[in-house]
Amino acid sequence: MASEEHLIRVGDEFSSFEELVEAISRLEKVQNITYWRRHTRTIKAGAKIVKTTFNPALKYYQVHWACVKGGRPYQSKSTGQRPNQRTFKEDCGACVKVCASKDGQKLIVKQSNLMHSHPTSKDSYQFPTKQRRLNENYQEEVSTALQTKPDKKVLQDHIRKTTGKTVTLRDLTNHSFKINAKGSNLEEMLEEFINDPESIVDVLVDEENVLKGIYYQDETMKRNFERYPELLLIDATYKLNDVRMPVYLQLAVDGNGESEIVCVFVVVTEDTETMSALVDMFKSHNHNWEKIKTILTDKDFMEKAVYSHHFPDATFISVALSSARHPRNQENKVHF
């Protein structure tokens, strides 16, 4: 335990944000747990607090890293009708808080609590998306390999042996979608979305400004959800657009028992982080989300855990939504 306590100590200084990230990565490997940036404040925002010239390599004035099992406190509105809901959050208090020095030239550790309130293991550490992510050079190699349409299980085993990363078959499928999206008419699709002044279009990108997903909702969709928020249908369709990206449809059921689209997600990669961010967008644009009573999904829906986390009081029902999965040229309706 002593080695952990001395890996990042109060008072430790870092001359750049990249240097700090490397220290956090070493800490994660020693403790077999993932840390996430719970709170950040850029040096631009920090300049309004401290009158000094910041070293641009610091990137942030304040950074708060927290254990992945130590999320923000959640105030449940549950009435107790569904008492057996679960979350991987365990209110762990392990964290590292860093702030820029008074002269703005270094990042200094102000608080370091490395004691976890839960067990850790190498197996559970390797599974989160952050730890499965490959570096840029190896991503290029994987992209080249995927273009030859290899056996993904063989490629998965090769990646595991050469990098030590526990890459899943779904990771490889997501990477294929990224490749297919390049050189497509994605810009034309975005332009078509944005040209509608009454539509809501949010673009989700990662830290490197690479597209992860698109949130789309026009005025009619928003109005339909405001009228019929109690039942939400969710399903994904594939290869139905020129950019060959998965499209997630969220639908409500009107007074005639017919489905009406209330929101569209276009995603590059179907990972938990991306889906959670898009659901957050949906909740921020639709205050009636608290009135959702039931969520109907396809029996093979893989993102149920994400929706369960965001809608803990809703009842989930799984059925075969074949008509939503394979829409035809004619108007597609699901009848109830």
Domain ranges of the chain: 2-125, 132-181, 186-325
- pLDDT higher than threshold 70 for residue 317: yes
Select the more confidently predicted residue: 134 or 274: 274
pTM of the model: 0.47
Q: Grade residue 11 by pLDDT with cuts at 50, 70 and 90.
A: very high
Distance (Å, whole) CA 109 – CA 106: 10
Which range is least confidently modeled, 33-37, 77-81, 212-216, 308-312?
A: 77-81
pLDDT the model gives residue 111: 92
Backbone angles phi, psi at 108, to 5 degrees: -120, 135
pLDDT the model gives residue 19: 92
Which range is least confidently modeled, 42-56, 88-102, 164-178?
A: 164-178
Q: Which of 109, 275, 98, 269 is nearest to 174 (CA)?
A: 269
Q: Which two tokens stand for residue 80?
A: 């107790």
Q: Which of 214, 234, 224, 236 is nearest to 288 (CA)?
A: 224
Residue 62 pairs in a beta bridge with 41, 99
pLDDT the model gives residue 105: 94
- Residues of the chain with pLDDT > 90: what percent? 25
Supply the CATH classification number for the domain 186-325: 3.30.420
Q: Grade residue 185 by pLDDT with cuts at 50, 70 and 90.
A: low
Residue 50 near residue 102 (C-beta atoms within 8 A): yes
pLDDT the model gives residue 50: 86
Q: In the predicted model, what is the mean pLDDT of the chain?
A: 77
Mutual angle of helices 136-146 and 152-163, in 10-degree steps: 160
pLDDT the model gives residue 17: 93
Residue 150: CB atoms within 10 A of its CB come to 14
- pLDDT higher than threshold 80 for residue 212: yes
Q: Grade residue 334 by pLDDT with cuts at 50, 70 and 90.
A: very low
pLDDT the model gives residue 336: 44
- pLDDT higher than threshold 70 for residue 74: no
pLDDT the model gives residue 6: 54
> Rounded to whole angstroms, what are the CA distances from 202 to 215, 221, 266, 287?
5, 15, 11, 17
SS3 94: coil
pLDDT the model gives residue 195: 66
Instruction: Tell me the pLDDT tens digit for each residue of 89-147.
Output: 567 888 999 999 999 999 999 999 988 888 877 766 666 666 677 766 777 777 777 66
